Structures are given as C-alpha cells and as structure tokens.
Structure 1
Amino acid sequence: MDGHCLCGAVRITAIPSSQAASACHCAACRRWTGAAMWAVEAAAAEVRVTGEVRTYRSSPLAERAFCPACGTHLWIRDDGKDYDLMPGLFDAASEFPLSHEVYADRAFACVRLAGSHPRASRAEYENSHPFVEGDAR
C-alpha cells in the first residue's frame, strides 16, 4: 500500500500483515486521536518511510509518530516491534474490515462498534499484556 499524510510531506509504503484493521479505546489512544485509534499492522521490514517524521515517547516501551508539518498521526510502535499504522494514510485500506478491538469497555458511547469481531476489555487486555500500566494506557 502507498500512503501519505495530509500535506504529503511524509510518504509511507507498507505491506500489511493482514487485510484488516484494529481499534483501541485506551485512555492514551483516546487522547491521541480524540476517540478511538485505528491501526493496520505491518512488520518493520515491510515499511518504508520518506519525509521528516517526529516521534513522541508515549510510554516506556512505545513511540507515536506524526508529520511535523500537518500533524497527521502516522503510527504507534512498541520498541523493536511491528508498526501499527493509521489506516487513513492508505486509500487501499478503505475496505479493510475490523479484526478486533481492545479496551472495548472503555469506548465512548459515540464510537461503540457494531459487529461480531473479538473484543477485549481493559482487564482482559492488561492480563495478557503485563507491560500496560493502569490508566497510563
């Protein structure tokens, strides 16, 4: 997939790990995006980025990236792990179904998602991801 930020200063080419997107409703993602964060996963070796990118260390283990010119959110990435890219960067992602959502019990009423996809509550997600610390996420 080929994509870019709002102003076009950052361009990203990626081969997604699957043809689906996920959603996160944790406190950090809600603050970053305004409601829920959507992501398309891609292995680091399958992502090419051109243009200036700024990052913000949002936790001891992860960074969030954005275009310094227009502010478009680009990705969140745990250190040394795969990219969770924002699907809105890629026209090709417009038909991707929702694979799953995490922190589903924390979703704002205006963004509760319909469908039969898997949902993990805050407790369920944090039990299987011990690096997550309370309300920091």
Structure 2
Amino acid sequence: MQNATRISGRCLCGEVTITIDGKHDAQPGVCHCRMCQRWSGGVFLAFTAAADAVSVTGPVKRFQSTPFAERAFCGTCGSHLWMRNTGDPAEDYDLMPGLFDAAHDWPLRSEIYTDKAMTSVRLKGDHARKTAAEYEASHPHTD
C-alpha cells in the first residue's frame, strides 16, 4: 500500500525527528531473525520509505551491523530509528513505525524468519510469511 502523504515522527525524547515527504509503504513488515531479536528485544517491525523522501534532524547514532547495513538510534534516548542498506545512498529506509502516530492503523504486510520467531511473539493474521530458508533463497547476501 504505497502512500505519498507527508508524515512526521519522533523518538522517545523528541530530539530526533523524521519527516517523510513522499513515497513510503504504509504496511510494516516483521523480521524474526536472531540479529533483529537482539536489536529489538523480540521482533523487528519496520516500513519502507524512499531515501529522497526522508529527512532527519537530531543526534542520530549509526551502527554498522553487517558489512552491508546500518542500524540507527537516537544518541540521547536510544530509540531505534531505522535499518538501512549502506551500499547505495538511494537505498530505502526501513523505519520504525512506532515513531509515527500515522502508523497506528496500518496493517501488517509480511513476516520473515517465521520459524525463528520467539514463542511469545507469534503473530496472527492474513499476511505473507517466509521461513529463514525461503527468505534466504531469494536474498543470497544473508547467512
């Protein structure tokens, strides 16, 4: 569900603001891989936005979590902001929907690594699902 509506969000302390003024997917996806579990505490939930539509202000810290991707967080309160492939500056952002009030009613698009999901985080609903093997077969950069 592509959307071009302008939306803004912020971290917990309010020092980082993110504005999307352009193309974004108003349906988040979930990842249950072990790296995402460690980073999020259970499940990584994100929606995509075009790089040229995203503007960010505030004390952002970045962590190069793999040779090809970074994870960003607020340098003051630690709120998770995004995960993003770093090979190309035009790569989309995978943004945390909880930062944006507008995301409250968005439906879930998909789940990956479903066979790795923690027992306490089993999601119901009619959305696309892929196991680790299914996802990695179409994404050879993953281990």
Q: Which TM-score band (shorter chain)?
A: over 0.9
Matches for 1:63-78 after TM superposition, within 5 Å:
63-78=70-85
Match of 1:34 in 2: 41
> Which of 11, 19, 29 is the matching residue for 1:22?
29
Is 1:11 aligned to residue 17 of structure 2? yes
Match of 1:104 in 2: 114
Find the residue that maps to 2:24 and give its secondary structure. Answer: coil
Matches for 1:112-127 after TM superposition, within 5 Å:
112-127=122-137
Deviation at 1:46, TM superposition (A): 0.6
Could you list the runs of 4 or more consecutive aligned residues of structure 1 that deviate by over 4 angstroms after TM superposition?
Answer: none
Structure 2 letter corresponding to 1:84: D
Q: State the TM-score, normalizing by the size of structure 1.
A: 0.94
Deviation at 1:18, TM superposition (A): 1.9
Deviation at 1:16, TM superposition (A): 5.0
- Note the alpha carbon deviations across 1:43-79, whole angstroms, 9 max, x for none: 1001000111000000000000000100000000011
Looking at structure 1, the residues matched to 23 and 34 of structure 2 have their Cα atoms a distance apart, in angstroms, of 26
Is 1:83 aligned to residue 109 of structure 2? no
Unaligned runs of 5+ in 1: none
Deviation at 1:17, TM superposition (A): 2.1
User: Once the two structures are aligned, what percentage of the paired residues are identical?
Assistant: 52
Looking at structure 1, the residues matched to 33 and 18 of structure 2 have their Cα atoms a distance apart, in angstroms, of 26
The RMSD of aligned alpha carbons is 0.8
Looking at structure 2, the residues matched to 92 and 6 of structure 1 have their Cα atoms a distance apart, in angstroms, of 16
Higher mean alpha-carbon deviation, 8-17 vs 102-111, is at: 8-17
Tell me the matched-pair count: 133
